[in-house]
Structure 1
Amino acid sequence: MEILVCIKQVPGTSKVEVDEKTGVLKRDGVDSKMNPYDLYALETALRLKEKLGSNVSVISMGPPQAKEVIKEAYMMGVDRGALISDRKFAGADVLATAYTISQGIRKMGNFDLILCGKQTTDGDTAQVGPEIAEYLKIPHIANVIKIEEASEKAITVEMDMPDTIELDKVTYPCLLTVDKDIFQPRLPSYRQKLETKDREIQTICLNDFEDKDENQYGLNGSATQVEKIFPPSVNNDRETWTGSSDEVSNKIIGKLKQLKYV
């Protein structure tokens, strides 16, 4: 059984500058980490590997430094990894991103099960996983919170719907997006780090795709564009009040009324 996990490198801080012209995050020089939701997808894949004897691969999309999250995945027990990287992919919205990743997956090979984190912490759209499945023309289930049963031919899962918890069975090939706490992610292994330090990471660029039309990727291939994006304003104003409990209480009430909170 072949399992693929889609992972992403995201900023490790909320203090990220925004390019006012393109509306995208300036990632250069910013501390980064693996998207937390992808850790749950990785752990799910590795547990299935232990149960079914599967091979686990990862794929990521980003600049060359995104190889670091693939190396981290190797330290957790992943067998193979690939990075989709090309300047022509920069500025992609969720639709163009999903199409790019689907092309990268086709380049990597055929997979029975594709796992994604529910969403990323830098975008929070929760759209890319299902859109990848649509481009690959395979069934998908989102918001998976539990693997009920897994075999060589199908997988049964619980999904968290707005009003109910639903149980569904889907045959391979398919794609699942998993929610947090489905499993507790394992820590990277130092032994695995030593064993995989020279393991190859495949790099995939536009010329490797079946579809080499540049208009399908990056800003050119994006169906949506952000009109305006800006960092939130920070208000560090503060007041210190002293007095009896009655005096301070009256000051708090007066302040709340002044701000029209009450």
Structure 2
Amino acid sequence: MNYMDKKFEALAETFTTFKTSIAEQLTALTHTISTWESRIQKLETHAEKALELSAVIESQDQVIASLNTGIQSLKEQLNEQEQSHLRNELEISGITETENENLHHLMSLLAHKIGLDLQASDVDRVTRVGPKNGINKEPRPVVVRFIRNTKRNETLNATKVRKHITTEDIDIKGPPKKLYFNERLTKENRRLFREARTRSKQAGFRYTWVKNGCIYVRREQDKSPRQIRNCDDIERIFGKVTVSVPSA
């Protein structure tokens, strides 16, 4: 009995120790679980805030996209208004620039050469545009502003009939240089026209021209013309520019 009592006492002590150990481990586990629950709650809070922030950013992106669309539309409207202001103007390139030149007189000689009935009352002003170039540079273009758009168009048509007009035809000394006649374009439309001509050649389009301030391209004579108003039209007609990466 004494032996059994000692065994039971030892077993009771072991069980008490075991129970104490289990209690301590449960306390530590409970603390750990509580800590993880707190962290999970913080993560959930951060996740909710991130979702809210993502929604705000998405909303702001939509607003920015809408604003960019509006800004682009305003730019196109301003460009159209500016181009409309130039509807009576003709640009002549290639006229040699000299000191004390009389551009009105040169314009009269030119009108006579192309068989155009041009009166002084038909012209508002004749002037050169752009910064003055140095020696051996290309002469600045001459801009003629007519009183009426019909007279501007009549002049352009006359220059197309009488081609290969040179500086010699308007009594300018020196080697003959060919003159070029074009509608005057805004800075944006000049850029679009240059890009349209470049891309037309690359895509095999035969015709690129300007009429009444509008830019057109056409692949063949029997095809319908397509108007270019902005860069999106260029990409829509010719496709996006692909940049080839050289192989190593």
TM > 0.5: no
Larger Rg computed on CA atoms: 2
User: Where is the strand percentage greater, Structure 1 or Structure 2?
Assistant: 1
User: Where is the helix percentage greater, Structure 1 or Structure 2?
Assistant: 2
TM-score (norm: length of structure 2): 0.23
TM-score (norm: length of structure 1): 0.22
Structure with higher RCO (Cα < 8 A, 6+ apart) = 1
